[in-house]
């Protein structure tokens, strides 16, 4: 008897098995809403072509959309979709290598920035995310020996920083996410999202360029040293 999930799995694979749609999903891993026009320019296709692709991704449950005036905004449907895209990206980039070597200085700089620090949907990744995750583990705030889990000390640490951990829904408090550049897990889940949001809101990190790259600010370097005993990874 055929597994009932078979047609749904095939349909999901078909949605992702297109370079334009894959480019959109990867771009939206920055956790923000993009307009259809922005995604069309990013993917290098006509707006009409992109609109058709977005319709399929929305209908398939991978994206959500909203309209404001003349603009159509889309974003990843939820954290589960982001995890799926990130896990697949890690799988097709063995050893953390880029899909192809950078062809220009600009591409090389962008690739280096992404490796140093970036957002993975709504949490921190790259060397920055790995360094923070390691420091939290070494200080007893996070356990990795039996899966990712915040300790009582870790929950208290978030509270001391004034970072709310909104434990609603089915999303785990802490989850391991395989980092495709570092090939090690970084912190995701409710705690990872809350820490990333705080880092951006408090000015510890700022977004750079049009990709997902982030950079640690001087204030962030001080905060990382004060609260986790580490130096900013990209200093």
In a domain, 90, yes or no: no
Residues 158 and 207 both lie in one domain: yes
Range of the domain at 30: 6-77
Residues 55 and 103 both lie in one domain: no
Provide DSSP, 73-131: EEEES-HHHHHHHHHHHHHHSGGG--SS---SHHHHHHHHHHHHSEEETTEEEHHHHHH
Give the pLDDT confidence score for residue 1 in this predicted structure: 63
Cα separation, 191 vs 155, whole angstroms:
9
In a domain, 113, yes or no: yes
In a domain, 161, yes or no: yes
Cα separation, 192 vs 83, whole angstroms:
13
Count of alpha carbons within 13 angstroms of residue 132, beta-carbon side = 31
Q: CB within 8 A of 197, min separation 6: which ones?
A: 122
Residues 60 and 118 both lie in one domain: no
Query: What's the CATH code of the domain at 37?
Result: 1.10.10.10
The whole model's pTM is what? 0.70
In a domain, 89, yes or no: no
Cα separation, 174 vs 166, whole angstroms:
12
- Give the DSSP letter of residue 203: T
* Domain count along the chain: 2
Residues 118 and 64 both lie in one domain: no
Residues 37 and 112 both lie in one domain: no
Give the pLDDT confidence score for residue 99 in this predicted structure: 46
Give the pLDDT confidence score for residue 88 in this predicted structure: 86
* 218-to-107, 221, 223, 227, 232 alpha-carbon distances in Å: 25, 5, 9, 14, 9
Residues 105 and 145 both lie in one domain: yes
Per-residue pLDDT of the chain (235 residues; tens, 9 = 90+): 678 888 888 999 999 999 999 999 988 888 788 888 889 998 899 989 999 999 999 999 999 998 877 778 898 988 889 888 888 887 776 554 444 444 443 444 445 666 788 888 889 988 999 999 999 999 999 999 878 899 999 999 999 999 999 877 778 899 988 887 777 889 999 999 999 999 999 999 998 875 688 999 999 999 999 999 987 544 4
Residues 28 and 131 both lie in one domain: no
Residues 209 and 108 both lie in one domain: yes
- Measured in residues, the chain has a length of 235
b/e code 53-89 from CB counts within 10 Å (16+ = b): bbeebeebebbeeeeeeeebbbbbbebebbbebbeeb
Cα separation, 209 vs 91, whole angstroms:
26
Domain boundary among 18, 47, 77: 77
């Amino acid at each position: 008897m055929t597994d009932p999930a078979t047609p749904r799995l095939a349909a999901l694979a078909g949605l992702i098995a297109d370079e334009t749609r894959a480019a959109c999903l990867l771009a939206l891993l920055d956790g923000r809403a993009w307009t259809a026009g922005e995604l069309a320019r990013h993917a290098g296709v006509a707006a009409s072509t992109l609109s058709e692709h977005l319709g399929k991704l929305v209908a398939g449950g991978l994206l959500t959309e909203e309209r404001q005036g003349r603009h159509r905004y889309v974003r990843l449907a939820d954290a589960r979709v982001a995890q799926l895209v990130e896990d697949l990206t890690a799988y097709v980039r063995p050893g953390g290598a880029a899909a192809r070597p950078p062809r220009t200085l600009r591409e090389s700089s962008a690739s280096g920035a992404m490796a140093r620090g970036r957002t993975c949907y709504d949490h921190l990744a790259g060397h920055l995310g790995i360094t923070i995750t390691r420091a939290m583990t070494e200080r007893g705030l996070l356990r990795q020996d039996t899966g990712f889990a915040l300790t009582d000390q870790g929950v208290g640490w978030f509270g001391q920083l004034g970072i709310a951990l909104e434990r609603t829904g089915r999303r785990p408090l802490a989850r391991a996410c395989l980092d495709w550049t570092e090939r090690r897990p970084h912190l995701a889940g409710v705690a990872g999202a809350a820490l990333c949001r705080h880092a951006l809101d408090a000015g510890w990190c700022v977004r750079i360029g049009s990709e997902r790259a982030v950079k640690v600010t001087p204030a962030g370097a001080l905060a990382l040293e004060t609260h986790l005993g580490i130096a900013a990874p990209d200093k």
